[in-house]
Amino acid sequence: MDVARSGSSRSRASQSSSTSAWKAADAPDVWTAVCAAPAATTAANSAASIIVPPPVNDTVARGRDAVHYAAMFPSRHALVAVACTVLTPLSARAQDLPEVKASGKLRVLAVTVSEGPQFMSPAGAPDPGFDAEILAGFARLHGLTVERVSVPSWDALAASLLKGQGDLVAGGYTSTAARRETIDFTVEVFPTRDVVITRRPTPAVTMLAELRKLRVSTVKGTSMADALAAVGVKQVDESILPGGVPSALREGRATAAVDGLESALVAAGHDPELQIGMFVGSSESLAYAVRKSSPRLLAALNEYLANLRHSPTWNRLVVKYFGAAAPDILRRARE
C-alpha cells in the first residue's frame, strides 16, 4: 500500500491516471520515443537505413577506402544514435550504479506524507523515516549522499522515474503487477496487507463470519471495498477520507474499518484503544522502484536489503517507526 490509500496502487481512481502517466512518460516527445526504442529493433532500423553505395566504376571505393563512404554517408540508425546522445538531457539518460557513483548522489523520488506511517518524513520531523534510514545506510556503503526529490502525487512517481528525475522511488511504494510492466522493483522492504480495525469496547474482529455481520467502513475511492466484497461482506461504507479511519472509530462514525497494515500499526501506537484484527485479502509488498535500465543499481539494492532483513537493524527500525508489536503482527500478515 502506498502510504496515502486514496493515492495508492489500490485506488480505483488512480489506476487509470497512473496508466496514463506511464504511457505519457514512455514517449513524452519525439526524441524520447526514438531514443528509447528497444535494442530488438536495431536490425529492423538498420535494414531501413539509407545506404549510399560507392560508384560502380570507382575501384578505389570498392577497396580498402570503402570505409570512407560509410563515414561520409552514415545510416539513419547511426545518425539517430548520435542525435539521441546529443539531445538527451543528462538527467534522463540511463543512470545505473556506475553513473550514480560518478555523480556522488543517490536521487530518491518520494511523496511527502505529513500524517500516518513515516517512510520518508517531512522536513523538520524528529526522525528521518523508515526508508530514509535504510537508504542512508546504502548510500554510505557506496560513498554516496542521498538527495531527496519531492514529487507531488503518487501517480507522478513512476513517470518522474522514467523521465530520469531520480534514481529510485521510495516512501511506502507498492510493487504491483501493473507497475512492474514499466519499472523494476527490489525485494520487499516492508509487507503490507488490508486489516480490520476496531476500537474498544468493540471487540477485535478475528473471524470472517463476524466480519460479514458488520457494517464495515473503509477509505473513499480505494479498492478495499472490492476486497471486502470478495470475502462476502455486503455492508460497506466508503465515506471515510484518507487518513480518517482512526478518527471515524474514535468518534463512533464507524464500528469496524479496513485500512492498510502499516497505517493501522501507526494508529494503534497513538491510540492504545484501537485493536488490529483479521487480515483481508492477500499480502503485498512495499519496495523501491528503479528503471529497467538500472540492473546494477537493482542488484546492489537487493543485496543490501537481503542482508538488512536478516540483521537486528531491520527489527530495530520496524519497532522504532511502527511500535513494539509490529514484528509479530507483520509475521502474522505473511501467514
Give the CATH H-level superfamily of domain 192-283: Periplasmic binding protein-like II (3.40.190.10)
Nearest partner of 100 among 139, 132, 148, 149, judged by Cα: 139
CB 203 within 8 A of CB 286: no
- Strands of 105-110's sheet, edge to edge? 145-150, 105-110, 168-169, 289-290, 184-185
Q: Is the Cβ–Cβ distance between 196 and 258 less than 8 Å?
A: yes
Minimal CA–CA distance to 145: which of 91, 104, 96? Answer: 104
User: What's this model's pTM, rounded to 2 decimal places?
Assistant: 0.64
- Please identify every stretch of the chain with a pLDDT value under 70, giving residue numbers as ranges: 1-94, 114-117, 220-223, 242
* The predicted structure's pLDDT at residue 104: 96
Residue 8 corresponds to which cell in the numbers above? 495508492
Angle, to 10 degrees, between the axis of helix 326-333 and the axis of helix 261-270? 160
Q: Kind of pairing, strands 274-286 and 190-199?
A: antiparallel
Report how far residue 52's alpha carbon sits from residue 60's, in angstroms, rounded to the nearest whole number. 15
Q: Burial level of 159, CB count in 10 A (0-12/13-18/19+)?
A: buried
Cα-based distances in Å from 142 to 47, 110, 192, 231, 314: 43, 21, 29, 46, 19
Cell numbers describing residue 115: 500524517
- The candidate with the shortest Cα–Cα distance to 3, out of 108, 107, 115, 109, is 115
Q: Give the chain's mean pLDDT.
A: 76
Amino acid type, 146: V
23 Cβ contact list (under 8 Å, min separation 6): none
The Cβ of residue 22 has, within 10 Å, a number of other Cβ atoms equal to 19
Domain locations in the chain? 5-27+90-189+287-323, 37-87, 192-283
Burial of 37 (0-12, 13-18, 19+ CB in 10 A): middle
pLDDT digits 0-9 by tens, 271-284? 999 999 999 988 88
Pairing, β 289-290 against β 184-185: antiparallel
- The CATH homologous superfamily of the domain defined by 5-27+90-189+287-323: Periplasmic binding protein-like II (3.40.190.10)
